[in-house]
Amino acid sequence: MGNKNTNLQAAKKAKDDEFYTTYETIEKEVLHYKEQFKGKTVLCNCDDPFESNFCRFFLRNFNSLGLQRLICTSYKSSKVIATQINLFDDESKPLCPENGYVLDVTYVCDGNVELSDEYVTLFLQQNRIIKRLKGDGDFRSPECIRYLKEADIVVTNPPFSLFKEIVSEIMKYKKNFLLIGNQNALTYKEIFPLLQNNEVWTGYQFGEMKFRVPQSSEPRSTRYWVDESGQKWRSLGNAMWLTNLDNDRRHIELPLTKKYDPKEHPKYDNYDAIHIKTINDIPCDYAGIMAVPITIVNRYNSEQFEIVGEANHGSDNEYDLFKPTINGKEVFKRILIKNKKLNTPKIEEFRILDLFSGAGGMSYGMEKNPHFKTAVALDFNEKALETFKYNMPNTETVSGDITDCAVRRRIIELSKEKAVNMIIGGPPCQGFSLKGKKLGLDDPRNFLFNEYLNIVAELQPEVFVIENVKALLSTSAGWFKNQIIEKVKQMGYFVSYGVLTASDFGVPQTRQRAIFICSKHREISLPIPTCDTVVTVRDAIFDLSYLNSGEGDFEQDYITEPTSEYQRMMRQGSTKLYNHKASNHAEIAIKKLQMIPPECGKEFLPQELTGNQQFSGTWGRLKWDIASPTIDTRFDASSNGTNNHPYLHRAITPREAARIQSFDDRFVFIGSKVYIRTQIGNAVPPLMAKAIADKIYDDLGEK
């Protein structure tokens, strides 16, 4: 703590930022949250308790607020300790500025009325409930962190130079708070994302506040005075309360009366956003990004606006998207917002460009909504595109590398020619690993991801969808996810994201994918589950349970009747059964499967036959009455994972795997088995893709 003490004192000395809040300022704010304090433990730290109005207020109102406990800690070297009342610690020693102290009470008196100053003074003097801390009282010390962990709500006025640090500590331990700070803190890289994500907001008092300051404070030419008692005072015009306690004012919609005028609302030199001089100048009819004064935070309603980012002057804040200049002249920093309430243009037909399309699971699923048509598809795998073209013949397919200039130009030309207004795809991002964090989206291994976003920037679709592995959202504590979100927002799009589980949408499989839905005009949330009961493996493939190893053919007649609603849905419109051919397993593989009872796994194999596979799922059989685990690209190998038929001595067939992926029987896979298994295993489940399309149409479609 030695270094921290030095830093703390240096900050105070350099910034002269000890401001002591008036009782009236505290009372005026806290009473708005009275119900939220009932039964709670309040911590006032980074303060000078016993002389502090925070301590005084909560002692006087301990009962009327219904508090359970009050903790007030002090930092050593206080400039005001023992200057108003004489107090002694629990060892009967007078308080002195060389120690940190703590007041910790759970009872003041009976009754629920506000107490007098005289009562509180006697309470403190007679009960000797003030204890000397072992440390110095720095809010970051282990001793004070322990008190923070025990608290429910932190209420204080920290030194402004340490504001971001105390907020970080409070958010780390997931506590509620009411803090006084300087409005400039709103654009700090530690604070701004909390505002953007609607985790913190301003309180009721925003602007002019007056504060007592220590006698050591230097006189100022403005906003400074000395009262008749000799007490020094300063006022700040840009003070604020910041909180994460809910309040009514943040739900009030800001009335907008102005209309967009290019002369009154000029665009910036280097960014597609308009400049707004004052909050009252926000136009009611502008759907794009607006750069408004930071005081918007005091009028911000997250249901009316979205915070996109900020425009500053070269800070190290990753949310700082550009330096605000108009005709070469710099303007003051701004917060970037979009209006969520505008009427969004309705789209009659969504014409899709499918990048990294594979065999087309995502397009095929989206086309199950009649308002979606895939106009162009790109993939470097020619065999996958053969399958795509066979099943969706009206799509223009392009085989090639997205990084090839000629291929990219061809894709953009075709998309413009066919009036593409939507892009979908799952760009690989091998660089999204712990080792890749240093470069992020600039990592060369993520070039395909950037190519996807570059094409979005070129075509400016109304909506685009990114799908990827679930781990993308959590790797490096979400750092890469945040990189993607910021890039998308910088392009001027709303974005929502999350993990979708295929079984929530009628797919008989627990596969999970990370999904980002990005829209130009409004935020589109991810679809909610569409089925109440899980579609099981039995529901999916029981009617196909008659082939043994090596049996079946590319095309054959149905020889059974459907036994579930899902099977009937899969068969609809199909006159033949395709791709239902079992792998021709080696004799030893069949013998092993014969040893494994229905719906069981390799635990029934003798030790000498389990092989070198390290994963518990190897040689596993599917279970009839639950959803399948994720189908991968090696589902036809009996030793690969839990891919074997529930009771037949073989791995599942391509058609059974396709059913589990929710491809209906009309979808035919073209190529040898090594290509087909890759096409199926890598696909987005069509029914999950349909749910995404349905949600997009509900929000943007022309009904």
Tokens 């999204």 locate to: 432
How far apart CA 682 and CA 388 sit, in angstroms, is 13
> Which pLDDT value is given to residue 684?
97
How far apart CA 43 and CA 58 sit, in angstroms, is 10
Residue 36 has pLDDT above 90, yes or no: yes
User: Is domain 537-683 annotated with CATH 3.90.120.10?
Assistant: yes
> Which pLDDT value is given to residue 31?
95
How far apart CA 212 and CA 222 sit, in angstroms, is 15
Pinpoint the alpha helices (H) of 267-418.
361-366, 382-391, 405-417
Residue 299 structure tokens: 């009028």
> Which pLDDT value is given to residue 8?
38
Predicted confidence band at 200 (pLDDT cuts at 50, 70, 90)?
A: very high
Residue 128 has pLDDT above 90, yes or no: no
Q: Is 121 helix (H, G, I), strand (E, B) or coil?
A: helix
Average pLDDT over residues 98-117: 82
Kindly provide the b/e burial profile for residues 261-271, where b requires at least 16 CB atoms within 10 angstroms of the residue's own CB: eeeebeebeeb
Predicted confidence band at 436 (pLDDT cuts at 50, 70, 90)?
A: very low
How far apart CA 82 and CA 86 sit, in angstroms, is 6
Q: What is the dihedral of CA 538, 542, 548, 552, to 10 degrees?
A: -130
For the chain, first and last CA: distance in Å?
64
| Helix 673-681, helix 382-391: angle, nearest 10 | 70
> Which pLDDT value is given to residue 85?
56
Residues 6+ apart with CB under 8 A from 259: 283, 284, 285
- Are 5 and 140 in contact by the 8 Å Cβ rule? The answer is no
Residue 438 has pLDDT above 80, yes or no: no
- Are 480 and 472 in contact by the 8 Å Cβ rule? The answer is yes
Q: Which residue has the higher pLDDT, 50 or 28?
A: 28
Nearest alpha carbon to residue 461 among 491, 500, 483, 482: 491
- The partner residues of 167 in beta bridges, in order of sequence, read none
Out of 29-33, 106-110, 416-420, least confident range? 106-110
How far apart CA 81 and CA 72 sit, in angstroms, is 13
Kindly provide the b/e burial profile for residues 382-400, where b requires at least 16 CB atoms within 10 angstroms of the residue's own CB: ebbbbbbbebbeebbbbbb
Average pLDDT over residues 350-373: 97
Q: What are phi and psi of 104, to 5 degrees?
A: -140, 105
> Which pLDDT value is given to residue 5?
40
> Which pLDDT value is given to residue 579?
98
Q: What are phi and psi of 652, to 5 degrees?
A: -70, 155
> Which pLDDT value is given to residue 341?
80
379: Cα separation from own chain's centroid: 30
Measured CA angle at 318 (ends 313, 321), to 5 deg = 50
Q: How, if at all, do strands 101-105 and 130-132 pair?
A: antiparallel
- The partner residues of 239 in beta bridges, in order of sequence, read 182, 207
How far apart CA 313 and CA 268 sit, in angstroms, is 14
Residue 589 structure tokens: 């593989």
pLDDT digits (tens, 9 = 90+) for 455-470: 999 999 999 999 998 8
Residue 668 has pLDDT above 80, yes or no: yes
pLDDT digits (tens, 9 = 90+) for 51-100: 688 988 999 999 999 999 999 998 875 544 445 555 555 555 656 666 77
> Which pLDDT value is given to residue 149?
96
Residues of the chain with CATH 3.40.50.150: 350-531+688-700
pLDDT digits (tens, 9 = 90+) for 293-318: 999 999 999 999 999 889 887 666 67
Q: Which residue has the higher pLDDT, 220 or 703?
A: 220
Predicted confidence band at 215 (pLDDT cuts at 50, 70, 90)?
A: confident
Residue 144 among the catalytic residues: no
> Which pLDDT value is given to residue 115?
82
- The partner residues of 232 in beta bridges, in order of sequence, read 213, 226
Residue 349 has pLDDT above 70, yes or no: yes
> Which pLDDT value is given to residue 124?
74
Average pLDDT over residues 525-553: 96
> Which pLDDT value is given to residue 11?
38
What residue type is assigned to position 489 of the chain? K
> Which pLDDT value is given to residue 340?
86
Residues of the chain with CATH 3.90.120.10: 537-683
Q: What percent of the chain has pLDDT over 90?
A: 63
How far apart CA 594 and CA 103 sit, in angstroms, is 73
Residue 447 structure tokens: 């070039």
- For the chain, what is the radius of gyration of the CA atoms? 32
Out of 87-96, 241-250, 497-506, least confident range? 87-96
Q: Which residue has the higher pLDDT, 46 or 121?
A: 121
How far apart CA 74 and CA 100 sit, in angstroms, is 5
Predicted confidence band at 657 (pLDDT cuts at 50, 70, 90)?
A: very high
Helix (H) or strand (E) segment spanning residue 339? strand 334-339
The count of C-alpha atoms lying within 13 angstroms of the C-alpha of 636, restricted to the half-sphere facing its C-beta, is: 25
Residue 495 has pLDDT above 80, yes or no: yes
The count of C-alpha atoms lying within 13 angstroms of the C-alpha of 458, restricted to the half-sphere facing its C-beta, is: 18
Handedness of CA 471, 404, 350, 491 (dihedral sign): positive
How far apart CA 297 and CA 206 sit, in angstroms, is 10
> Which pLDDT value is given to residue 84?
55
> Which pLDDT value is given to residue 15?
42
Predicted confidence band at 523 (pLDDT cuts at 50, 70, 90)?
A: confident
pLDDT digits (tens, 9 = 90+) for 552-584: 999 999 999 999 999 999 999 999 999 999 999
- Are 594 and 672 in contact by the 8 Å Cβ rule? The answer is no
> Which pLDDT value is given to residue 396?
98
Measured CA angle at 335 (ends 330, 339), to 5 deg = 125
Supply the mean pLDDT for the chain: 88
CA distances from 310 to 65, 186, 192, 339, 572 (A): 38, 10, 9, 15, 52
pLDDT digits (tens, 9 = 90+) for 2-24: 344 443 344 344 345 578 899 99
User: Is domain 350-531+688-700 annotated with CATH 3.40.50.150?
Assistant: yes
CATH class of 2-248: alpha beta
Q: Which residue has the higher pLDDT, 184 or 624?
A: 624
- Are 685 and 662 in contact by the 8 Å Cβ rule? The answer is yes
> Which pLDDT value is given to residue 641?
84
Nearest alpha carbon to residue 445 among 480, 411, 487, 478: 480
Residue 431 has pLDDT above 60, yes or no: no
Q: Which residue has the higher pLDDT, 5 or 236?
A: 236
- The partner residues of 556 in beta bridges, in order of sequence, read 577
Of 46, 72, 144, 429, catalytic: 429
CA distances from 289 to 55, 252, 277, 300, 396 (A): 44, 21, 14, 15, 34
